[in-house]
Chains A and B, each alone.
Chain A
Amino acid sequence: MSSPIWLTIAGMAVVTYALRASFLLLPASVQTPPLLKRALRFVPAAVLTAIWAPELLLQNQVLYVSLENERLLAGMVAIAVAWRWRLTSATIAAGLIALHFFDWLI
């Protein structure tokens, strides 16, 4: 085993932990500026959407908006189910079933 991989892992761990700890380590007396507070309200919706949107809209790194894109169609079904029932398990089940259904249909 060469040493650089352990060095790489240690470096990755330090960098990642530093990012995660950054703001959490500020003392409680430090006030969050109002604008930052307002901005942070949008972080979950923005980042979470940015995580799943490419899985629906891209194929081989290229935009793929088409009625033949079964992942996009199944994703729409999942969004509708999540909107109506707010249940993670139902959303995942409906999306997977829809994926196989559209795959079979197309």
Chain B
Amino acid sequence: MVASGIAPLAAMLMSVIVFAGASMVASAQLLAQGTPAALIILATLFINLRFMMYSASLRLHFARLPLRWRLLIAYLQADNVYGLTLARFAEHPQDGEKLEFFLGAAIPIWLAWQGAVLAGILIGAGVPASWRLDFAAPLAFIAMTVPFLRDRAMIAAALAAGLTVVAANGLPLRLNLLLAALAGIGAGLAAEKKAA
């Protein structure tokens, strides 16, 4: 982000108060191109629309908590936190300590993320690209996805989402991600209905 011309302090502040990686990378590109603020904010809205689905999904587990905890849960949402938490809740539905588990996943991830952003700002790209550690990110998401694939409807949802995200790759603002989520949900519901 700093490489594309954002001041270090602004980059760190954005990381802390926005806390959403994809939209930050996109906004850095858009800022570098001189895009007006309103358009960048609109792009952020679309890129982060999936958080609304996470919010609805997490509410099934946390609706009864006091407001202050729900406000904190909202802030700490991230793709990997959501993946880890929901995987745990799917395997241990009777678990009584859901908030503890969520915070136990979210707080270390938040700290690691902010630390990594700070390190990136201070030292830039310090790991040789030839190590290809960037591939660890999709691998971690694969590890989070697979435990969900326990019935046909889930597998149908994942397949439909995977195919759609690739097929709709040309869409701007990561709208393919949103379309893929909807296609996956549709395929899952259809497969479930067929099985019933």
Give me the interface of A with B, judged by CB distance under 8 Å: 1, 4-13, 15-17, 19-26, 28, 30, 32, 36-58, 61, 63, 71, 74-75, 78-79, 82-83, 86-88, 91-92, 95-96, 99-100, 103
CB atoms of B19 and A50 under 8 A apart: no
CB atoms of A54 and B37 under 8 A apart: no
CB atoms of A6 and B10 under 8 A apart: yes
Please pick, from B18, B60, B142, the residue contacting A91 in the complex, using a CB distance under 8 A.
B142
CB atoms of A23 and B184 under 8 A apart: no
Contact with A along B128-154 (1 / 0, CB 8 A): 000011011111111111111100011
Give me the interface of B with A, judged by CB distance under 8 Å: 6-7, 10, 13-14, 17-20, 23, 27, 31, 37-38, 40-41, 44-45, 48-60, 62-64, 67, 70-71, 73-75, 77, 79, 82-83, 86-87, 90, 132-133, 135-149, 153-154, 157-166, 169-170, 176-177, 180-181, 183-185, 187-189, 192
9 shortest interchain CB distances as A-B pairs: A46-B184, A42-B188, A11-B41, A50-B180, A53-B162, A55-B138, A82-B146, A91-B143, A21-B74
CB atoms of B74 and A26 under 8 A apart: no
CB atoms of A24 and B166 under 8 A apart: no
CB atoms of B138 and A75 under 8 A apart: yes
Expressed in whole angstroms, the Cα–Cα distance for A11 and B57 within the complex equals 25
Please pick, from A4, A30, A48, A83, the residue contacting B79 in the complex, using a CB distance under 8 A.
A48
Expressed in whole angstroms, the Cα–Cα distance for A27 and B40 within the complex equals 32
CB atoms of B45 and A8 under 8 A apart: no
Expressed in whole angstroms, the Cα–Cα distance for A13 and B74 within the complex equals 12
Please pick, from B31, B41, B145, B154, the residue contacting A5 in the complex, using a CB distance under 8 A.
B31
Expressed in whole angstroms, the Cα–Cα distance for A1 and B13 within the complex equals 14
CB atoms of A42 and B184 under 8 A apart: yes
CB atoms of B63 and A42 under 8 A apart: no
CB atoms of B17 and A13 under 8 A apart: yes
Expressed in whole angstroms, the Cα–Cα distance for A103 and B129 within the complex equals 14
